[in-house]
Amino acid sequence: MDAPGPVHGPALGPVLGIESSCDETAAAILAPDGTILAESVFSQTEDHARFGGVVPELAARAHLAHLPGLVAGVLQRAGLTPRDLGGVAATSGPGLIGGLIVGASYGKGMAMAHRLPFVAVNHLEAHALTPRLPGLFPGLPGGGAEFPYLLLLLSGGHCQCVAVEGLGRYRRLGTTLDDAVGEAFDKSAKLLGLPWPGGPHLERLAREGDAARVPLPRPLLGREGCDFSFSGLKTAVAQAVAKGHAHADIAAAFQASVAAVVADRARHALAMAPFDRKPGATALVVSGGVAANTAVREALARVAEAAGLPLIAPPIRLCTDNAVMVAWTGIERLRAGLTDPWNHAPRPRWPLDELTPAA
């Protein structure tokens, strides 16, 4: 059952993006040139905080309750009706399957009802393409990243070094061997008695501490390749807490360790990246929730400067899960003539390098 092309309006009109892969319910509408016409996010943080993490069933129910209102709201603020859209893009993996089913089903329903093309968006590809959104970086030609570039995808569920060679052309150079970096932040914050989500709270606490007072390991630092490992660091945090070290000092030491490891892995990845284009990467890009951490950004900025490359990091609000990146990915794929059938099944696991290459 293939999705049809648009039967009214321009070849590519504004695109609706829907995000529901975890605990953020979001909708956004972007013009074909990347202009954000309207966006809205409903955060479920308060609903899950008392459980110390995301409860998948609660998240899915919240998506179901709030998504229709969010979509209606962004359409109204953009001054559009569904028939004015050029397509619908919805996150279809990876993520929590209940939320993916809600968002993808709603998006496919809109596409079917109004005979619009549908794009099943890979959440990781959306993070990877966010830096290409025009206008985010005025100092760059075209206002966004140009292929190819090296991506560090740092989030609560993913930690990868990826050579981004073009739309649908992604080579994973390294990944985490255990915990993702965002997961390590949250678990370490919990050991320090901080609220969930722990990353922002740990960063604030670290400003009050002295990293030199607590010797923590820097896993795989200097090792060949660009894989990551954070489970040992998390264990070391637990031991430091048990020994009675000041929590602010532990937080500072943990953050310094993560920043040093991420910078080291980025240096190795830049040396490994098999770009066809010479002299190689046009930029070092960091995306995902942990890209909002100031210490990590500063460490990567030094790596980029040493390599003679710009560091491109999306605005903080576009680092975490959002529908703007989903709509933009829809625009990129629709421009390349890539759509998905209405019976496309959401995937809780969907490796980035499994995407079909663009024609």
Residues in binding site for Fe cation: 123, 127, 321
Residue list for the binding site for substrate: 153-157, 186, 199, 203, 293
Residue with tokens 């989030």: 155
Give the separation between CA 197 and CA 188, rounded to whole angstroms: 11
Q: Give the up-direction half-sphere exposure of residue 355: CA atoms within 13 A in the CB hemisphere.
A: 31
| Cβ(6)–Cβ(115) below 8 Å | yes
Give the separation between CA 37 and CA 99, rounded to whole angstroms: 25
Closest listed residue to residue 242, CA positions, set 192, 176, 287? 192
Give the separation between CA 355 and CA 42, rounded to whole angstroms: 29
Residue list for the binding site: 123, 127, 153-157, 186, 199, 203, 293, 321
